[in-house]
Amino acid sequence: MSNKLMRPILLKGHERPLTQVKFNREGDLIFSSAKDYQVYSTSNYLITASADFSGKLWKAETGECIYTWNFESPVKRVEYSPDCKKVFFITDHVMGKQGKIQIFDIDFTKPEQESKPILEIINEGDATTKPTTATWSYAGKHIIAGHADGSISKYDSITGEQLEYSTPFKKTITDIQTSSDRTYFVASSKDQTAKLFDIDSWKLLKEYESESPVNAACITPVKDYIILGGGQDARDVTTTGGGEGKFDAKIFHKIFQDVIGRVKGHFGPLNCIAIHPEGTSYVSGGEDGFIRLHHLPKSYFEFQYEVEKTAEALQHQNASSSSSGNEQIEASA
């Protein structure tokens, strides 16, 4: 699987590195943010997090800012709960301020929002243990957080109690994304790996190894794949060619952990990845300021290992035998 089988759509709206790309739930819109302080989108509402110590709620169609949350340090990440009734912000551990995950109630029917969080999960350690990324689990029951020291945590989203903690990575966690049903997640790290975990059992399920720091990873629906990307650190890019920097996206088989495809194109580190809700395409954002939208080819959906083909054939055979048996029973009756 390669670029020869699909032509990406290149979107150039930002002048500086991309920090986040997202599909809306219907998959017909893409939201992007970057270090140029601009957000490009077209949907009902959008919440952004910024290094200017603020979080903002926008009318995405008009670009009107309708509410601002103010914080004591730069805001690194924001995410709605699955029911869109809560939102968390991650604030940085700098300037004598502790890193926090702050949860707010949100009501889109009201012009004013709650200015004070209903819950704060505070980093009690130093900057090496600060939260760097997070996401919600199924039904918004838990918050799964990644930390600068390579550890991951599971918190009760109501009480803030830390329910699980482990250190499966050697370096900073860069991204956490869940499966469609939010029962398991993939985390990526600067230690050149991405790993798959079950949320309830907290067990490590699979591991995917890269040749460079991994900045983002996502779980694809429909097919059992993981897409991840990253590359050599941006400060070293000027001395490295695109191929040597390893800026391609890699497609791993989720179960067998093999690389089954690579997609090149970015001229710097790949910073963020999002998969279409129906698994038909994915979008990536890079240090080069480009967004690349890839519609996945037929070969992506048809690829199977021999063991998968055999299992599918047996399944069809068993289904056919069962159907034939039912017809004979009806005939004799």
Q: What is the pLDDT of residues 56-94, one digit of tens each?
A: 999 888 889 999 999 999 999 999 899 989 999 999 999
Mean pLDDT of the chain: 88
pLDDT above 80: residue 265 = no
Please report how many Cα atoms fall inside a 13 Å half-sphere around the Cα of residue 235, on the Cβ side: 0
Report the alpha-carbon distance of residue 32 to residue 19 in Å, rounded.
Answer: 8
0.75 exceeded by pTM: yes
Residue 40's pLDDT is 46
Residue 28's pLDDT is 87
Give the model confidence (pLDDT) of 28-57 as tens digits. 888 888 864 444 444 688 899 999 999 999
Q: Which fold has domain 3-332?
A: Methylamine Dehydrogenase; Chain H (2.130.10)
Q: What token pair was written down for 85?
A: 């009734």
Are 186 and 145 spatial neighbours (Cβ–Cβ below 8 Å)? no
Split at pLDDT 50, 70, 90, the class of 25 is confident
Give the model confidence (pLDDT) of 311-330 as tens digits. 888 888 887 766 655 555 55
Please report how many Cα atoms fall inside a 13 Å half-sphere around the Cα of residue 300, on the Cβ side: 27
Give the model confidence (pLDDT) of 147-201 as tens digits. 999 999 999 999 999 999 999 999 999 999 999 999 999 999 999 999 999 999 9
Give the model confidence (pLDDT) of 101-129 as tens digits. 999 999 988 879 999 999 999 999 999 99
Q: Which of 234, 213, 232 is nearest to 288 (CA)?
A: 234
Residue 158's pLDDT is 98
Split at pLDDT 50, 70, 90, the class of 307 is confident
Torsion sign over Cα 207, 283, 74, 159: negative
Q: Which of 202, 147, 199 is nearest to 169 (CA)?
A: 147
Residue 90's pLDDT is 97
Report the alpha-carbon distance of residue 119 to residue 240 in Å, rounded.
Answer: 45
Query: Can you list the pairs that 90-96 forms with residues at least 24 positions away whose Cβ atoms lie under 8 Å?
Result: 90/49, 90/131, 90/132, 90/133, 90/134, 90/145, 92/130, 93/123, 93/126, 93/127, 93/130, 94/127
pLDDT above 80: residue 238 = no
Q: Where do we find the tokens 């055999």? A: 310
